[in-house]
A and B are shown apart, each in its own frame.
Chain A
Amino acid sequence: MRLLVLTPVWVWLCGLVALPACVLAAIALATPADAIPPFTLGVGLDSLAATVLDPFYRDALLGSLRVAALASGLCLLLGYPMALAIARSAPHRQPLLLTLVMLPFWTGFLLRIAAWTQLLRDDGWINAALLAVGATDAPFVLLHTDFAMLVGIVYAYLPFMVLPLQARLSRADPLLEQAAADLGAGPWRRFATITLPLSLPGVVAGLVLVFVPVTGEYVIPEMLGGPGSPMLGRAIWEEFFDNHDWPLAASLSLVLLALLLAPAMLLRRAR
Chain B
Amino acid sequence: MSRSHLLLASLLGGFLFLYLPIVLLVVTSFNASRLTTVWTGFSLRWYAALLADQHLIEAALLSLRIAAVSATLATLLGGLAGYALARLGRFRFRGVFAGLLAAPLVLPDLLIGLALLLLFVAVEAAFGGPERGALTVTLAHATASLAYVAVVVEARLHDAGTALEEAAMDLGASPLQAFGHVTLKLAAPALAAGWLLAFTLSLDDVVIASFVSGPGATTLPMVVFSTLRIGATPELNALATVVMGVVSAALLLGWAVAGRRR
Contact = CB atoms under 8 A, between A and B. Distances in A.
Q: Binding site of A, secondary structure by majority: helix, strand, loop or mixed?
A: helix
Interface in A81-104: 81-82, 84-86, 88, 97, 99-101, 103-104
A109 B222 CA distance: 12
B4 A88 contact: yes
A2 B110 contact: no
A57 B251 CA distance: 44
Given A20-B118, A82-B14, A218 B207 contact: yes
A23 B118 contact: yes
A88 B3 CA distance: 11
B240 A107 contact: yes
A184 interface: no
Nearest to B179: A1
Given A9-B81, A158-B14, A240-B114, A117 B228 contact: yes
A9 B147 CA distance: 11
A18 B143 CA distance: 11
A267 interface: yes
A140 interface: no
Most buried by A among B83, B106, B110, B243: B110
B114 A107 contact: no
Interface in B14-62: 14-15, 17-19, 21-22, 24-25, 28, 35-37
Interface stretch (A47-55, A196-204, A246-254): A246-254
Nearest to A188: B3
A176 interface: no
A10 B91 CA distance: 12
Given A8-B77, A82-B10, A237-B110, A16 B119 contact: yes
Contacts of B102: 264, 268
Contacts of B204: 108-110
B97 A219 contact: no
Contacts of B10: 78, 81-82, 85
Interface string A97-135: 101110110111111111111110001110010000000
Contacts of A103: 247-248, 251
B88 A107 contact: no
Given A16-B143, A24-B118, A119-B21, A6 B84 contact: yes
A230 interface: no
Contacts of B160: none
B24 A125 contact: yes
Interface in A2-20: 2, 5-6, 8-10, 12-14, 16-20
B167 to A, nearest CB: 19
B184 to A, nearest CB: 12
B187 interface: no
A180 interface: no
B253 interface: no
A88 B7 contact: yes
Contacts of A253: 110-111, 114-115
Contacts of A81: 6-7, 10-11, 14
A250 B114 contact: yes
A37 interface: yes
Given A16-B119, A114-B232, A117-B231, 16 more contacts: A5-B88, A6-B88, A6-B91, A9-B81, A10-B97, A24-B114, A37-B121, A103-B248, A118-B25, A123-B35, A125-B36, A216-B107, A236-B110, A246-B118, A260-B106, A260-B108
17 contacts: A9-B97, A20-B115, A20-B118, A20-B119, A23-B119, A24-B118, A79-B14, A100-B18, A103-B248, A108-B239, A108-B244, A113-B228, A158-B14, A212-B107, A216-B109, A222-B229, A236-B114
